[in-house]
Structure 1
Amino acid sequence: MKTFSLLTVLFLFASPLAATAAGAPQSDADCAALIERWATDPKAAPKQVINDCKDQLAQAAALPVAAAPARIAAVDPCAGPGAADSVLCWGPWASVAPAAGFTEDPSQQPIPDREICDARTGQCQPLLAAVPPEPPLGSCTPGTPCGFATIVSGTAFTDDAEDTAFGRFDMAPDSTRFSIAPESGGENIESVAMTTYADGPGYIRASGSEGDILSYLNASMEQDGEGQALIASDLWAHGTLESARSGRFAWGVATSQAGLDTLNAGNVSLNFAGAMGVDPATVGSMTIAFGTNPTWTGSWTNPAYSFGAGGTVSGADLISQPGQFTSNVNAAQSFVQGALVGEQGGPRGIAHIIDVTVEGQGRIKDIGLLREVIGTSVINP
């Protein structure tokens, strides 16, 4: 016996056009019901079918029939002996609407939106709305400072991936303090008050001490007219000589909601590129396609490896989707998280972290602030 798809079964049982096609045999009960419907809805059946039904009922009036079943069927065609063969009696399909419309049956339970149903058991898988994945390090609120950092023991700033942790990074706009909230929890890393120094165009250094505790920041930075930081990235260190920790950071002010709304309304694509912080030999490139459902794609290229990823954009947050990693990435053990920072007309970038397991390379953890590639913004079709 052939197995029909649910769509085929629904069509055969639920289509009024199939049931009332010219020449299709109709029971007397069906004809009576069709004529009654046709009187108020001329589209209920083709005119030829109605004429045939009228002729059929006229002939049937002259034949002896069982009165009781006929009277019941005239009121309820599904109560008569021909109910099983009637197109008006749905049987197991009572909760399924015909293609021509639906008359609510108060005796039926509400039916949720469904994606796949098994006609034999009535079991269905609910149709679920797509929900963006939760960013592993938490969300960045539009219009507020947002950043990420790597954390290693000692003052070398980098270490093996297994000995590198991530955290959320924040700093004062005048660069005199910074703080890091480790992803693993525990006590935050809080710098002491620091004094800043210009270290060439676009660079600052900041350092300070309280007793034997030292704090240090070195940053490639873009500032506004009042010397307040807009986007920044590079090195940090904090602690005593015996218990110091250090790492890399990428930071900025997340794009405001008004700025995000303008980008999405314009259906534009923005491109970003730059060297990563832990391994500067790795160059990252990312594109955000704004619109009703904004998305991003990216690639990271190193002399020893390369991989790609993609995902969703929610507010200022960028988060990878497992199914959009290239085939050389163990997607179940990998993620990319970032945030769009800066505003139109000013410095703009993507502060982000990568934690990926690449075939032939093992686990890779890195951080970067990719700068906007000016002159490559395009309007999406």
Structure 2
Amino acid sequence: MKLHVLAAALVLTTTAVTASRPGDDEADSVYQWGRWSVLAPAAGLPQGVQAPGQLRVRGVRVGEAEQLTPKVQPLSQATSGDEDSSPDLPLAPQSLGCTAGAPCGLASRAAGRTGGTAAGTVLNAFLLEQDGTAGTAAFRLNSGAADEAASVSMAARLIAASRLRAGGSDGAANSTLFSSDLTLAGDGSIARAVGFWGHDDGTGGIESGRFAWGIATGQADLDALNAGNVSAAFSGAMAGDPTTRVDITVDFGAAASWSGSWSGGHSFGASGSLSGPNLVADSFSNVDSGRVEGVLLGPAADQAVAVGVDVQISGQGQYTDVGLIPQVVSGGAL
């Protein structure tokens, strides 16, 4: 199987992976989600899983497996990880800095096992590394920054056409990742995903949150959309607080712009311009401070928006969350 690496220079560990079999103590197995079970269902690995280099994984059809020889390659293009993660920023244009056609994403990040919904949650850049449909996976938050966080190597499996679970340990450290909504590319790699991440560094440092990640829309598609003055609509729920929904409109053209309206659990608005695939917010409503960032993902015919918010809402308090918002076409969302 060809390895599709979708993150920057993340070196996987070679810690042996032990299969979880019926009768094992599932509560103590990171592959059964153990301490993270409050946030995600069990994610047991198939029988016969061995150390990396001999790892057997499941594909879309449960019960089928194929031999995998994991290899790791650095990605030449990655998002910057030196963005300010302070939840109390002045209202000013902010860009995630994603490159067209390259992997990019955002994540909420909080101490503990809250899934990024507790007070003090911040917004980080997020990178995902994976080997296609299943095998090994790893993630990194705020790559290159002083507060960078990186997972251990995780054994992963695709348990349905749109669900992925991964877990791994290295000594006392362990990491987990779960996506209940992902899209596969034609070559079997993950094109975009939204879900939950968690990491325990083994020394008492436990963090978790939600992520929205994917491959940014390519430059050729952006050029075509701008040349056609296309107007695209996106609508969906945020990941951490699904009672909060957002409607986003992107108007492509010589002076491409976008606007978004959040309602339900949290109500506010943001709008601005496009810089490549990046949604840059420079105007806000019902927001005292903070930032809103986003990126267009996928080909022109099947786009989505990964959006992150870290705002102090007038009369409502602090709200930090991410979402993977699908495109709307006649008759409903894609």
TM-score bin (small chain):
0.5 to 0.7
Q: Secondary structure at the match of 1:261?
A: helix
Asked which structure has the greater RCO (Cα within 8 Å, sep 6+), the reply is 2
- Whichever residue aligns with residue 228 of structure 1, its letter is S
Normalised by the length of structure 2, the TM-score is 0.66
State how far apart, in whole Å, the 2-side matches of 1:191 and 1:240 are: 9
Look up the match of 2:324: 369
Whether 1:239 and 2:200 are equivalent positions in the alignment is: yes
Look up the match of 1:140: 98
Q: 1:126-205 counterparts in 2 under 5 A?
A: 135=94, 138-161=96-119, 163-174=120-131, 176-181=137-142, 185-205=145-165
- Whichever residue aligns with residue 171 of structure 2, its letter is G
Stretches of structure 2 that go unaligned for 5 or more consecutive residues are: 1-91
Q: In the TM superposition, what is the alpha-carbon distance from 1:238 to its structure 2 partner?
A: 1.3
Q: Is the 8 A contact 1:148 1:251 kept in 2?
A: yes
Q: In the TM superposition, what is the alpha-carbon distance from 1:173 to its structure 2 partner?
A: 3.9
Q: In the TM superposition, what is the alpha-carbon distance from 1:338 to its structure 2 partner?
A: 0.4
Q: In the TM superposition, what is the alpha-carbon distance from 1:182 to its structure 2 partner?
A: 6.8
State how far apart, in whole Å, the 1-side matches of 2:117 and 2:150 are: 21
Q: Is the 8 A contact 1:166 1:182 kept in 2?
A: no
State how far apart, in whole Å, the 1-side matches of 2:100 and 2:196 are: 25
State how far apart, in whole Å, the 1-side matches of 2:248 and 2:176 are: 30
Stretches of structure 1 that go unaligned for 5 or more consecutive residues are: 1-132
Structure 1 residue runs of 4 or more that deviate by more than 6 Å after TM superposition: none
* Structure number, greater radius of gyration: 1
Q: Deviations over 1:67-122 (max 9, x none)?
A: xxxxxxxxxxxxxxxxxxxxxxxxxxxxxxxxxxxxxxxxxxxxxxxxxxxxxxxx
State how far apart, in whole Å, the 1-side matches of 2:199 and 2:318 are: 26
Whether 1:269 and 2:225 are equivalent positions in the alignment is: no
Q: Secondary structure at the match of 1:364?
A: strand
State how far apart, in whole Å, the 2-side matches of 1:311 and 1:265 are: 19
Residues 307 and 187 of structure 1, relative CA distance in 2, 3 Å threshold? closer
Q: In the TM superposition, what is the alpha-carbon distance from 1:344 to its structure 2 partner?
A: 2.3
Whether 1:248 and 2:210 are equivalent positions in the alignment is: yes
Aligned counterpart for 2:219 among listed residues 250, 254, 257: 257
Aligned counterpart for 2:292 among listed residues 324, 336, 345: 336
How many residue pairs are counted as aligned between the two chains? 235
- Whichever residue aligns with residue 254 of structure 1, its letter is A
State how far apart, in whole Å, the 1-side matches of 2:130 and 2:225 are: 25
More strand by share: 2
Q: Secondary structure at the match of 2:267?
A: strand
Percentage of pairs with the same residue: 37
State how far apart, in whole Å, the 2-side matches of 1:164 and 1:182 are: 18
Q: 1:80-159 counterparts in 2 under 5 A?
A: 135=94, 138-159=96-117
- Whichever residue aligns with residue 150 of structure 1, its letter is S
RMSD of aligned C-alpha atoms?
A: 2.1
Q: In the TM superposition, what is the alpha-carbon distance from 1:226 to its structure 2 partner?
A: 2.9
Q: 1:340-351 counterparts in 2 under 5 A?
A: 340-345=296-301, 347-351=302-306
